[in-house]
Structure 1
């Protein structure tokens, strides 16, 4: 027998020893965020000559872009179609009896690995606007599994798995069989995430189809299904590659654990307004209710944009073709997509079906009213506002000519202006949601291979299934043994519950004054065919509220708010390759939004903030300025080769 070890054996020994050393080190030392160092040289941080940037979209992505650029000396104009800034985290006023509250699009949690969002929070000194919610529960209907509780951690993979197995009352139900090769393939996929490799291997298959290939049933029920839906995409239309990214960011590559923060007040007060105030303090201009009517493009650049402000609309007549797909006894429909109009039969009266809140197309309900599926605004049969967040009625028009299968319309509003306002810019950032982005590209008359490629990318972007929020004011409080925000599994509609009267100050004060409670239920990605109307959604929420909290069975609902959104980005199979990146082939156009292809793992609000900062970095780089360092969890899984 040879007494000397072979070179291969030595290499194996060193590799195993190295891995064991890393594992041991990661058990006692908390891993630090990965820094994406953009510039190795020290470059100037601020402009020394005037440059104008137009940011379109006032959600988190647009706010982050405008924030960074205004801090660096750019003359920034931020345009937002809605009356409120914030996009999916906007807030607006509602009245409940004699009390006023801020309503939102639903509760949002801030996880500790939201490094780039937290850096802005620290810079503008608003840490006190956030509070720890201590831990995070997942609760299962009919006690199919014991509740899972996730807490802060100081260990990364694999020690967080070890800690979970020790603390979980369900670990014996995980269903892992180490003799099953399919289970090893699942283990390898979730522990070896890497961009773009994981997408190359798994982007073509949906989570539902991938689950059929051998995920242990207990693991799927306990973790994969609840967390997949919390990405706001249903498992049957969610790319497995995207799920791996989501899991890596929130768990396998995350050394922070799943405890999280909430805002002490509404999101607008706690986060949106402070960022906006910083932008204006640095000389930035913010214009809300800005309806863009034209984007002027020439050569390889965007030259300017034109827009109407507030209720002002163009007085230029236009033709619209009949829509053959929509039939109704009361209206004829013309146009399509985001330019859809209803003409009252046998009259010259017409109105736009674009919601005046953020431009989503409203849908006719069984009672004849029109509901905005994005944020829950309601209009009557004549297009007049019934429920917020919209403040203005639908825009009205007159039919002035009829020809074959089309009509000519002209605005019938009191505030008609002949000319839009125009803004020129050195750079433009499009930071809208998917629907808004598609609308903007419909306004550009461009040509050439590069422009055609970008337009194809934009057209390929998908929307997720709708998201619904029901918030209920009740005349009774109740005991609750789980976290004040908890995921729920096994219900027909409801995916989470939030106890607002134990989180935000104005709701706490109301509960203390009245002895009541304020509870919010979320449906992350419901199927429209199962819940086609507002009434069906609300009725199911109420039914499931009593199932989730039986103590409320004899409580009276004093007030209720329902918000629907169908504007979250979709990540379906085979979508990764076509997803646009921050920088485009139009030299002075940047993209920002959670639909942007990312070079590092991130999710939800952190993804939006990161893309906004990336768009700012792209502009800074073109101007020869120092780019901002961006942070993330470890970009690759431990077992990545």
Structure 2
């Protein structure tokens, strides 16, 4: 990896790191090789784009009727007769997501379909409030600025903190961070540092629950990596952008057109039941109705989908690969409730609010603040479109009770909603996000498998790069494509990441001394 004088479009961090493209021809000559991409989420779309741009014959198989995976959207009709687009909920497009944003630039060069939110406020039920709007972008001033301006930190708290325990956060490196911290839970690491209780809940727990998991079950390595990506390792800041239309219109419909123009064969509503290695090389994909032959394959599936397909498809890779896939785990269920209210929330309410201490409520979005469809409905009716998220719910959670509790917490956070009538509501229950448990890193698949013709992509994959969440999905899809392109002597695609190690020399030195002293 290199740090060049240039940066990816739109980047502000001069220490962003380039992963150079492998050399080769810019496009296939002669008969093109073929690749089946199984899964139409971010990872699969990234792989399909990267391969098709080099002239590879690509077919993409998606079990749902729409592209986007966990960011898909679908049409619905409200009780008042209005058409609307429902999805699985709010996603933040951080400025550090260089490779995801590069994917979106294929159809939106200036990212005009993304809108910046002016703040990322955090509220605790005890009345404490935090914000990232005025926090400096550049580390370590970002961390110092947050601590100095945050009510969750006070001078009296500092003597009680364990600075030595915090040193691993100062110099996060991938994959070394997993060697150091994967055997510890995020909760226990924070407890050992003895952060003030308010800061523990208001800042760090909000971040850790972005992985849809209880901090007691989440690997501390994943939390430390996230702290590096968004805070101490990047100068892009904590603010983010959001699509200004529903996901299909803003993101996936244009990308679908782009893929079709590249000649990609799209198979929607086409789950792959089985993949069989062909005797003469390549793979036969069975969709029930048809069997298709391809030279190579990229599996870009969620945890459950990957496990199910691997069980029905023996012989794809070695036995160790199958054993590790079988041990993967899915994060607990989460709930997304979207409410169409007959009156507006207060004008000063943020577009997005992170919460802690409000029972099962993790965040609140007011969609008309940025999304055109919601804004138009709000203008026409005088109401608001509000979305509520509840993460890491128990397996025995009663759904109706949880939905009502969530709405009750909205009334606590935004009291003006108590008087609002719910014109319509949609409640999405899902349990398909990867869990990154303590001591789970070794079981996560890598992009490459023991079969050089088979690759794996997705946010569950080990990439060896400092990326997470949607950015890990996009990056892994590009890495899977690059690995195949290199076999055909075709040029790969350049990637970018935040710095791959702690960026401050003094903090790195302190972290090194702390590690040596343990």
TM-score of the pair, normalised by structure 2:
0.91
Question: Over residues 245-279 of structure 1, what are the superposed CA-to-partner deviations in whole Å (9 max), with x where a residue is unaligned?
Answer: 11111111111111111111101111112222111
Displacement of 1:520 after TM fit? 0.4
Determine if the alignment matches structure 1 residue 491 to structure 2 residue 358.
yes
Q: 1:308-359 deviations in whole A, cap 9, x for unaligned?
A: 3xxxxxxxxxxxxxxxxxxxxxxxxxxxxxxxxxxxxxxxxxxxxxxxxxxx
Residue number in structure 1 paired with 2:27: 46
Displacement after TM superposition at 1:67 (Å): 0.9
From 172, 184, 190, the equivalent of 1:211 is 190
Assess, with a 3 A threshold, how the Cα gap between structure 1 residues 165 and 294 changes in structure 2: closer, same or farther: closer
Give the match for residue 55 of structure 1: 37
Deviation for aligned residue 1:211: 3.1
**How many angstroms does 1:47 deviate by?**
1.1
Quick check: 1:302–1:586 contact (8 Å CA) kept in 2?
no
Normalized per residue, which structure has more strand?
1
Alignment correspondent of 2:249: 269
Find the residue that maps to 1:171 and give its secondary structure: coil
- Structure 2 residue runs without a partner (length 5+): 1-11, 513-518
Match of 1:111 in 2: 94
Given candidates 261, 264, 270, the residue that maps to 1:281 is 261
Indicate conservation of the 8 Å contact 2:166/2:193, yes or no.
Answer: no
Q: 1:511 maps to which residue?
A: 378
Matched, 1:134 2:118: yes
- Partners of 2:354 and 2:54 in 1: how far apart? 40
Query: 2-side partners of 1:302 and 1:433: how far apart?
Result: 23
* Pairwise CA distance, 1:118: 1.3
Contact 1:206 1:573 in 2 (8 A): yes
> Shift of the alpha carbon at 1:210?
2.7
Equivalent residue for 2:470?
A: 605
1:577 partner SS: helix
- Aligned partner (choices 441, 457, 463) of residue 330 of structure 2: 463
Which of 122, 129, 132 aligns to 1:150? It is 132
Contact 1:301 1:589 in 2 (8 A): no
Of 165, 179, 200, 2:179 maps to 200
| TM-aligned CA deviation for residue 131 of structure 1 | 0.9
| 2:276 is equivalent to residue 296 of structure 1 | yes
Q: How does 1:153-172 map to 2 (within 5 A)?
A: 155-172=137-154
Matched with 1:100 is 83
Is the Cα–Cα contact under 8 Å of residues 582 and 611 in structure 1 kept in the other structure? Answer: yes
User: How far apart in 2 are the matches of 1:174 and 1:210?
Assistant: 21
Which piece of structure 1 moves more, 461-470 or 204-213?
Answer: 204-213
Q: Distance in 1 between matches of 2:94 and 2:275?
A: 38
Tell whether the 8 Å contact from 1:153 to 1:255 is kept in structure 2 after alignment: no
1:420-451 per-position Cα deviation (integer Å, ceiling 9, x unaligned): 3111111100001000001110121228xx52
Q: How big is the alpha-carbon RMSD for the aligned residues of Structure 1 and Structure 2?
A: 1.9
Which has the bigger relative contact order, CA under 8 A and spacing at least 6?
A: 2
Aligned: 1:570 with 2:435: yes
Partner of 2:346: 479
Give the aligned partner of residue 554 of structure 1. Answer: 419
- 2:41–2:67: 8 Å Cα contact kept in structure 1? yes
Q: State whether residues 302 and 589 of structure 1, in contact with CA within 8 Å, keep that contact through their aligned partners in structure 2.
A: no
Query: Rg: which structure is higher?
Result: 1
Work out whether 1:186 is the aligned partner of 2:201. Answer: no
Q: Which has the higher helix share?
A: 2
Paired with 1:605 and 1:480, the residues of 2 have a C-alpha distance of 31
1:585-605, CA deviations, whole angstroms, 9 ceiling, x for partnerless residues?
012000000010021111211
Task: Report if aligned partners of 1:175, 1:219 keep a CA contact under 8 Å in 2.
Answer: no
Tell me the TM-score normalized by structure 1: 0.74
**Aligned partners of 1:480 and 1:215: how far apart in 2?**
38
Aligned residue pair count: 491
Q: Distance in 2 between matches of 1:173 and 1:160?
A: 18
Pairing 1:235–2:215 present: yes
Matched, 1:36 2:25: no
* Matched ranges for 1:428-443 at <5 A: 428-443=297-312
| Residue segments in structure 1 that go unaligned for 5+ positions in a row | 1-28, 309-419
1:176 matched to which residue of 2?
158
Residues in 1 aligned to 2:361 and 2:393: alpha-carbon distance in whole angstroms: 9
